[in-house]
Amino acid sequence: MANTINVTTAPEAHNYDIFIGDDLLPRVGRHVKKLTGITCQRVVIVSNKKVFGLYGSTVVDSLEAAGFITSTILIGDGEKYKSLTTAEKILSHMSESGVRRSDIVLALGGGVVGDAAGFAASVYMRGVGVVQVPTTLLSMIDSSTGGKTGVNSTFGKNLIGSFHHPLAVIADVSTLKTLPAEELRAGLCEAIKQGALSGKQLFDATARSVENVAQGDIGGIADLIALQIKFKASIVAGDERESMSGRGSRSRKVLNFGHTFAHALETVTDYKRLRHGEAVGYGILMAAELSKSLDLLDHKSVNLLYDVVRRVGSLPYVADVEPDSVMEMFKHDKKVLSGGLEYVLLRSFGRPVIQSADTISPKLIHSAISRVIRSGIGD
């Protein structure tokens, strides 16, 4: 049985469906046919060698059985391949294969594939449709919905990009069976982040799933993914373009809970030690500690958050990281470029607040980082 969620984003009224369930890949062709009608002839599949090796033939067979001409472009595996060079390769492939404006791109893979393919689709002939087929937990609950696409460059992560909503998202949860445990862990940390932002109900549902999933039992995950996506979609619907001045609890910026700390940790460890989601695991604890120091969040909620992050399994070691070096990284955060560094803090589960860094004593920030690093959570 598949869950279907219909997403509408204002103000431009994009409307698309998100399908979540088991064994959806063999039905991809039929879904795409329904979405695109008779005008679309070609589907360009963007994937990487690993994911395509596992699921490519099922997707190709399904699309061809539905009457599409397919071609495939495989990109490198890893964050460093989410680049302009990769986007250019995808665009060259599209041009050489004679892709027309009525044709579409299908992104088969995790967030790296989804972001790069979505970006290429958004600029090819000023925009062709993209269907996102996420195959990691993180890309199912987060990156495939919401329309943000992009690539990294010498001047920063995700600083070149566009808003380009997919025609549909097809999340086949059976693909999670082959996902390495560390990748599942990274996705779970992002799920905890969204749970804490949404409120006690989603937080508790996420906490219940965490232990099972961390032990490789993914039964029931489709329902959690559906709840997670509903929450993300509800935030995106109200603030599609992440308005710069927005500071309310429904601003899209709240989805960055824990991310100011996470990005600094990723940078200071040279992007080698922590997956993005794992850094978010640490980041949300730091943001919670800071919220407690500012008398916003109570002790009990902070402990609960530690508890659930612990249940994900051990995170990579960071006890040797100096809090000062993490603080130094804030100066280079891309948010500084876009109008000043802000922290997303919590008053309670479901009640985020956005506060400018200028109003918070660096001493408090330093000690929040320090407490989490020394908490032993990554040992």
Ligand X SMILES: NC(=O)c1ccc[n+]([C@@H]2O[C@H](COP(=O)([O-])OP(=O)(O)OC[C@H]3O[C@@H](n4cnc5c(N)ncnc54)[C@H](O)[C@@H]3O)[C@@H](O)[C@H]2O)c1
Q: CB 366 → ligand X: shortest distance, Å?
A: 27
Q: CB 318 → ligand X: shortest distance, Å?
A: 19
- Grouping H, G, I as helix, E, B as strand and the rest as coil, residue 377 is coil
Q: Based on CB atoms, which residue is closest to ligand X, 111 or 258?
A: 111
CA angle 182, 197, 173 (to 5 degrees): 40
Q: CB 135 → ligand X: shortest distance, Å?
A: 4
Q: Based on CB atoms, which residue is closest to ligand X, 105 or 365?
A: 105
Cβ(281)–Cβ(316) below 8 Å: no
Q: Based on CB atoms, which residue is closest to ligand X, 319 or 337?
A: 337
Nearest residue (beta carbon) to ligand X? 111
Q: Based on CB atoms, which residue is closest to ligand X, 108 or 297?
A: 108
Q: CB 138 → ligand X: shortest distance, Å?
A: 4
User: What is the C-alpha to C-alpha distance for residues 145 and 16, in angstroms, rounded to an integer?
Assistant: 10
Q: CB 127 → ligand X: shortest distance, Å?
A: 17
Contacts of 20 (CB under 8 A, 6+ apart): 2, 3, 4, 5, 140, 171, 173, 222, 225, 226, 229
Q: Based on CB atoms, which residue is closest to ligand X, 74 or 288?
A: 74
Beta bridge partners of 345: 353
Q: Based on CB atoms, which residue is closest to ligand X, 54 or 353?
A: 54
Rounded alpha-carbon distances, angstroms, from residue 225 to 30, 138, 149, 228: 23, 10, 20, 5
| 59, 61, 67, 70 alpha-carbon torsion, rounded to 10° | 60
Cβ(291)–Cβ(197) below 8 Å: no
Q: CB 50 → ligand X: shortest distance, Å?
A: 4
Q: CB 181 → ligand X: shortest distance, Å?
A: 11
Which residues sit at the interface with ligand X, rule CB under 6 A? Answer: 48, 50-51, 54, 77, 79, 82, 109-113, 115, 135-136, 138-139, 142-143, 146, 148, 158, 175, 178-179, 183, 186, 276
Q: CB 219 → ligand X: shortest distance, Å?
A: 17
- Grouping H, G, I as helix, E, B as strand and the rest as coil, residue 56 is helix
Tokens of 336: 């500084």
Pairing state of beta strands 168-172 and 14-21?
parallel
Which residue in 87, 147, 78 sits closest to 110, CA to CA?
A: 78
Q: Based on CB atoms, which residue is closest to ligand X, 103 or 142?
A: 142
Contacts of 346 (CB under 8 A, 6+ apart): 196, 197, 257, 287, 288, 291, 296, 297, 301, 352, 353
In the numeric block, the tokens 């919220």 are attached to 291
Q: Based on CB atoms, which residue is closest to ligand X, 168 or 296?
A: 168
Q: CB 112 → ligand X: shortest distance, Å?
A: 4
Q: Based on CB atoms, which residue is closest to ligand X, 183 or 342?
A: 183
Task: Assess whether the previous peptide bond of 11 is cis (omega < 30° from 0).
Answer: yes
Tell whether the torsion through CA atoms of 327, 367, 288 and 305 is positive or negative: positive
Q: CB 109 → ligand X: shortest distance, Å?
A: 5
Q: Based on CB atoms, which residue is closest to ligand X, 151 or 326?
A: 151
How many residues are there in the chain? 379
